[in-house]
Amino acid sequence: MDRTTGDDTETTRTADGQEEQTAARGTPATSPLLEEVTQDNPVHEAMADAEADRQQGTFGKPGRPLNPRSPFLIGMKATAGVLTVVALAELLLKARSVLILIGLAFFIAAGLDPVVVWLTRHGLRRWMAVIIVLLALLALVGGFIAAAIPPVASQTTTLIKDLPHYAQQLQNHNSSLGRLNDKYHVQQRISSLLSTKGSELVGGVIGAGQLVISTVSSLVLVGVMTIYFLAGMPQAKLFFYRMVPHSRRTRAILLGDEIFTKVGGYVLGNVITSFIAGLGTFLWMVAFGIPYPALLGLLVFLLDLIPVIGSTVGGIIVTLVALTVSLPVALATLAFYVVYRLAEDYLLVPRIIGRTVRVPALGGMVAIVLGGVVMGIIGALIALPVAAAIQLLLEEITFRRLDNS
């Protein structure tokens, strides 16, 4: 193919001998660097093509791939792979706590995303749906806090005032607390702890202040990142889906959407069951005159967010508090939590969460234990949807290949 360049046109001779005239690509040049390069320079033609592609808004056509069998290329790939693994490992170790918070924010955003998608399907734009969901969430949390703070504050004040009364009961050998004190020497252990570790307690107070500041900053980070993830969830999904080869992209989209559905159903269902546990605790304690119903109801609500073990821990705490009323009330409270735990496991969870997550009981327990060991409370919170996602991938990818092999 011959090419002759004039002032205004460019003539190209094709393989069949015909001549085509196109607009000149190299002149007039708009790039300052192209103007400084003479036409007899070997780079001039490439610079002219680059300038034409730049004006069209493209970055040119990709060249032929490098030879994958080249020893130099193989060595470079191996070196880059090792350096990448080392850099990622160092990043994970140094930024582990921040990455956990970012993962928690993404988890919460994925849980709220189905509500946003439902609103967008009913005619709202994405940003309007996100604002509505955030306002509803803030109103719910604000109303919950406004309703919980006054009784919790008053009951906390009452608890501080009742401490001398409980101290007298510890001295009374006929009371329940007195018998516990005689058997386990609670008062002596507390006195020795305060006398021998006073300086450590001061340091503990300082550490508690630092913990409060760290917790508040973590909550702010999670809240801000949740808003960003919720607003940019479609773009984040598209980014991850584009990293999958085109031949497998449709299947990846279907599996990814199913995983997001499981996460959203789990988050909403877990909040509902935890609210039922907290409300049931509050009503039970009010009915039997157990002290601090609002405070302990809020505690049970928060603990029940941790699956499997959360409601059990909350029930033990409430039962111990019920001992201050009487032993029969404590036994009745224990029976109430046993019945509630059975009802939650076999009635509430299968109807609210089970249809979405579908994780076997043994697998769920193992996932929660491992998640708690690896990432603490956050790991226990996200263990079930992560286990559900792994189970889905195993059934749709690994098990099918094994069955067909």
For residue 6, what pLDDT is reported? 43
Tokens of 221: 């980070």
Q: Are 300 and 312 in contact (CB under 8 A)?
A: no
pLDDT for the residue 350: 73
pLDDT band at 12 (very low <50, low <70, confident <90, very high): very low
Hey, what amino acid is at 393? L
- Taken in order 178, 179, 180, 181, the sign of the CA dihedral is positive
CA–CA gap between residue 364 and residue 387 (Å, rounded): 7
Where residue 28 falls among pLDDT bands split at 50, 70, 90?
Answer: very low
Percent of the chain past pLDDT 90, that is, above it, reads 2
Q: How confident is the model at residue 40 (pLDDT cuts 50, 70, 90)?
A: low
In this predicted model, what pLDDT tens digit does every residue of 320-362 receive, in sequence order? 888 888 888 889 999 999 898 888 877 777 777 766 777 777 7
**36-57: average pLDDT:** 73
Write down the pLDDT at residue 335. 92
Q: How many other CB atoms are found less than 10 A from the CB of residue 83?
A: 10
**Is a pLDDT exceeding 60 seen at residue 189?**
yes
Task: Please report the pLDDT score of residue 21 as a whole number.
Answer: 45
Name the range with the highest mean pLDDT among 187-191, 211-215, 227-231: 227-231
Q: CA-CA distance, 183 to 303, in Å (whole number)?
A: 30
b/e code 252-286 from CB counts within 10 Å (16+ = b): eeebeeebbbbbbbbbbbbbebbebbbebbbebbe
Percent of the chain with pLDDT strictly greater than 70: 75
Q: Classify residue 35 by its DSSP letter.
A: H
Query: Rounded mean pLDDT of 7-36?
Result: 49
With CA atoms as reference, report the closest residue to 95 among 259, 221, 236, 231. 221
Residue-level pLDDT at 192:
63
Query: 4-18, 98-112, 359-373: which has the highest mean pLDDT?
Result: 98-112
Dihedral angle sign, alpha carbons of residues 122, 127, 129, 130: positive
CA angle in degrees (0–180, nearest 5) for 307-311-314: 135
User: Residue 213 and residue 229: Cα distance in Å, rounded?
Assistant: 24
Taking the C-alpha atoms of residue 305 and residue 267, their distance in angstroms, rounded to an integer, is: 9
Give the model's pLDDT for residue 177.
Answer: 63
Q: How many residues does the chain have?
A: 405
- What are φ and ψ of residue 365, in 5° steps? -65, -45
Q: Which residues contact 64 (CB under 8 A, 6 or more apart)?
A: none
Specify the pLDDT at position 4.
46
Average pLDDT over every residue of 12-17: 47
Amino acid at 29: A
Across the chain, mean pLDDT equals 77
Q: What is the pLDDT of residues 247-258, one digit of tens each?
A: 888 888 888 888
Bond from prior residue into 291 cis (ω within 30 degrees of 0): no
CA–centroid distance for 223 within its chain: 11
- For residue 2, pLDDT beyond 50: no
Angle 221-227-230 from CA coordinates, rounded to 5°: 130
Tokens of 238: 């598209």
Q: Residue ranges per domain, the chain? A: 2-50, 96-199+212-238, 244-405
DSSP string, 192-254: HHHHHSHHHHHHHHHHHHHHHHHHHHHHHHHHHHHHHHHHTHHHHHHHHHHTS-HHHHHHHHH
- The model's pLDDT over 128-183, given as tens digits with 9 standing for 90+, comes to 888 998 888 888 777 767 766 777 677 677 767 766 666 666 666 666 666 666 66
For residue 316, give the amino acid letter.
I
- Mean pLDDT, residues 262-279: 85
Average pLDDT on 85-100 reads 85
> In the prediction, which pLDDT does 8 show?
45
